[in-house]
């Protein structure tokens, strides 16, 4: 039996696209973990940061050590300023070729047959569902709109059909994903807002199952979308990529919002539900002053996010921000550390607030001897006990007894 391995870097869109390639492969091809000997390897790359680009190159080299045949490289790295490798066994699949990867694999391995379909979902606890790809925004720091192209929405019926197929596989939570989820509908007749899609999907979600909204730009969090968050079929969690909480920096980034709009959006969300709000912050953006940084820290205290993903700014060739002055690598790292320290305190406070509550947790894996790990609706890691075996993907009620080392601990009730 021919063997193929995959390694995926970056976002949930990449993870979804890798899974769709796997689903098209016949069962006569064995999919083995990355690092095991195999006949062919697929690397789905990322370029969102310099670190991601560096890791993409490193995994190509690692793949060569255990791959007897070709290494297929796809993803955002090959779409933007790709530097070719002197390797006759490295196959580049960019643009339209990306959709042909499963066929390329079969042709190279001399294998044919029907795809394995959704069988892979038996091992995926919280599968992603792509609703759109591409982005029309032109944030000055970002290269993704170049790599992914303009926003393209999937048809509502196709999305709901795939959602039903995934739920029929036994999982209880699906994560909606896209490059810019909130822009769904902008290219469709009538330009329906994403709230229309979400409502249509929730109407078809079976009882005791739920959707989780992926990262969504704050300007798309309208009153209609906020109202939908009252549904218990939507996880009580939202991730807002703020990027900065200082207005001068937001303007330099080409962001369409102001800090006051961010604060108001979060306040309105918390009025309708006890919701977990996460976000992204880029520290040390070109031209960010000490006053801007201090303002960002003060506004974090107002918003009080449940968690933050914090990145020191890193220049990306081909972006407007890379041509701006006023960037200092060391200062960016120092400010990111300060924001992370504050975010850690805020996360600890949030976790403490959940102690004594019962949360609905998706089981993700067994730790042995009646112990399990999972993710709550609030997007918090939970370690819990249960005398019975719980398969991955099942939602169970967990009473939270304590918080320890950044993890909630409890028991199924």
CATH of the domain at 50: 3.40.50.12160
The boundaries of the domain holding residue 346 are 236-353
- How many distinct structural domains can be found in the chain? 4
Provide the pLDDT confidence category of residue 53 given band limits of 50, 70 and 90: confident
Return all residues near 244 (Cβ < 8 A) that are at least 6 apart. 250, 253, 255, 281, 282, 285, 288, 292, 296
Asked if the model's pLDDT at residue 380 lies above 70, the reply is: yes
Provide the pLDDT confidence category of residue 87 given band limits of 50, 70 and 90: confident
What CATH number should be reported for the domain holding residue 190? 3.30.750.210
Provide the pLDDT confidence category of residue 317 given band limits of 50, 70 and 90: confident
Residue 300: its pLDDT value, please? 98
Total-model pTM: 0.93
Do 362 and 348 lie in a common domain? Answer: no
The stretch 317-325 carries a mean pLDDT of 92
Query: Cα angle vertex 106, ends 100, 112, to 5°?
Result: 115
Do 158 and 194 lie in a common domain? Answer: yes
Cα separation, 247 vs 244, whole angstroms: 8
Return all residues near 208 (Cβ < 8 A) that are at least 6 apart. 172, 395
Reference 240, options 211, 256, 220, 254; nearest CA is: 220
Strands 276-283 and 307-312 come out as: parallel
Residue 81: its pLDDT value, please? 67
Do 341 and 372 lie in a common domain? Answer: no
Helix, strand or coil for residue 20? Answer: helix
Reference 148, options 128, 159, 164, 132; nearest CA is: 132
What CATH number should be reported for the domain holding residue 278? 3.30.750.200
């Amino acid at each position: 039996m021919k063997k193929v391995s995959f390694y995926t870097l970056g976002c949930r869109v990449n993870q979804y696209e890798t899974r769709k390639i796997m689903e098209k492969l016949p069962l006569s091809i064995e999919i083995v973990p990355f690092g095991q000997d195999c006949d062919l390897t697929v690397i789905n790359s990322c370029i969102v940061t310099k670190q991601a680009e560096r890791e993409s190159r490193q995994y190509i080299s690692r793949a060569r050590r255990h791959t007897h045949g070709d290494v297929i490289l796809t993803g955002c790295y090959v779409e933007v300023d790709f530097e070719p490798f002197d390797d006759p066994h490295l196959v580049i699949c960019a643009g339209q070729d990306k959709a042909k990867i499963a066929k390329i694999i079969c042709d190279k391995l001399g294998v044919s047959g029907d795809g394995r379909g959704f069988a892979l979902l038996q091992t995926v606890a919280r599968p992603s569902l792509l609703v759109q790809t591409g982005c029309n925004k032109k944030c000055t720091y970002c290269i993704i709109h170049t790599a992914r192209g303009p926003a393209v929405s999937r048809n509502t019926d196709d999305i709901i059909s795939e959602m039903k197929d995934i739920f029929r596989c036994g999982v209880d939570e699906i994560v909606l994903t896209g490059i810019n989820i909130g822009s769904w509908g902008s290219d469709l007749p009538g330009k329906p807002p994403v709230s229309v899609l979400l409502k249509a999907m929730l109407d078809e979600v079976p009882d005791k199952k739920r959707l989780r909204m992926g990262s969504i730009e704050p300007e798309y969090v309208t009153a209609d979308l906020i109202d939908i968050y009252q549904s218990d079929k939507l996880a009580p969690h939202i991730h807002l990529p703020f990027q900065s909480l200082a207005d001068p920096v937001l303007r330099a980034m080409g962001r369409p919002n102001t800090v006051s709009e961010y604060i108001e959006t979060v306040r309105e969300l918390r009025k309708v539900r006890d919701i977990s709000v996460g976000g992204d912050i880029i520290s040390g953006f070109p031209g960010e002053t000490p006053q801007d940084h201090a303002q960002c820290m003060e506004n974090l205290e107002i918003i009080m996010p449940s968690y933050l993903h914090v990145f020191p700014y890193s220049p990306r060739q081909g972006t407007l921000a890379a041509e701006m002055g006023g960037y200092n690598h060391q200062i960016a790292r120092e400010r990111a550390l300060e924001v992370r320290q504050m975010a850690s305190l805020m996360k600890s406070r949030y976790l403490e607030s959940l102690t004594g509550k019962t949360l609905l947790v998706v089981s993700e894996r067994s730790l042995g001897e009646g112990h399990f790990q999972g993710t709550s609706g609030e997007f918090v890691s939970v370690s819990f006990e249960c005398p019975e075996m719980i398969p991955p993907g099942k939602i169970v009620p967990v009473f939270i007894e304590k918080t320890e080392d950044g993890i909630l601990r409890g028991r199924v009730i």
